[in-house]
Amino acid sequence: MVFYWIVYVTVVYGKLPLPVGLILLLLLASYLSLYRGVWAWLYRWGEDQGLTNWWWGLALWVALEYLQTFLLTGFPWMLLGYGLEPTRYLLQLVDITGVYGLSALIVLVNLGFCAALQSLTRMQLIWQPVLAALVAFGVALGYGYWRLPQVQKLMAQSASLRVAVVQGNIEQGASGILNIREPLWPAINSLPWGLRANGRI
């Protein structure tokens, strides 16, 4: 549901028919789903070639996300690592690896979980991906607990700057129309000075 707004924008502001907006939404969703399909296909191919599936799946996922970020002008939306944004300790890993490191961590933990389930069903321990997942998760979490206090200390010691953001109450579709926008510029430009004179900023 990340792209629900595509239809609205193309129909309301792009003046395209509703069926065209729906088709554009489906095309974009299909394009992004190709990366997941390619991952599944190449992961299975790697297993048939005897590649160690946990590191192969991990490297493949990160490579495809990196490709998605830059291919065809790039579309760095819906990367797996974005889902860890609320977890502030794991999030600290980003200052070393970027979002791709978080994606790699999620894939590795899931591959380890899958290997653990396979161990139960096959009655044979598949220990390498499980151990790799546990170690990677522990290292990432430990780094977060070590790094976050440092970041918070640096933020507390840094100089602060008061910032005010003012947004005009202009309907989005009208903001690009000159005869509506131009008369508003004098009031918009004088607003920060008026706020400063009144001690608001």
Instruction: Give the contacts of 65 (CB within 8 A, at least 6 positions apart).
Output: 35, 79, 80, 100, 103
**Which pLDDT score, from 0 to 100, does residue 54 have?**
80
CA distance 108 to 131: 10
For the full predicted model, state whether its pTM sits above 0.85.
Answer: no
CA distance 14 to 22: 13
Residue 131 has a pLDDT of: 86
Q: How do the pLDDT tens digits run along the chain, 201 residues long?
A: 677 888 888 888 888 999 999 999 999 889 889 999 999 999 989 988 888 778 888 999 999 999 999 888 788 888 999 988 889 999 999 999 999 999 999 999 998 888 888 777 777 777 788 888 889 999 999 999 999 999 999 988 888 887 767 666 666 666 555 566 666 667 666 766 666 555 555
User: From CA 172, how far away is CA 180, in angstroms rounded?
Assistant: 11
Q: Which two tokens stand for residue 30?
A: 């299909």
The predicted pLDDT at position 28 comes to 87
The set of residues, in sequence order, having a beta carbon less than 8 Å from that of 17 and lying 6+ positions away, is 11
| Phi, psi of 32, rounded to the nearest 5 degrees | -70, -35
Please report where in the chains the tokens 């819906």 appear, as a residue. 78
> CA–CA distance from 30 to each of 3, 21, 27, 88, 143 (Å)?
12, 14, 5, 32, 37
Handedness of CA 142, 144, 150, 156 (dihedral sign): negative
Q: Could you tell me the residue ranges of all domains in the chain? A: 1-51, 52-160, 164-201
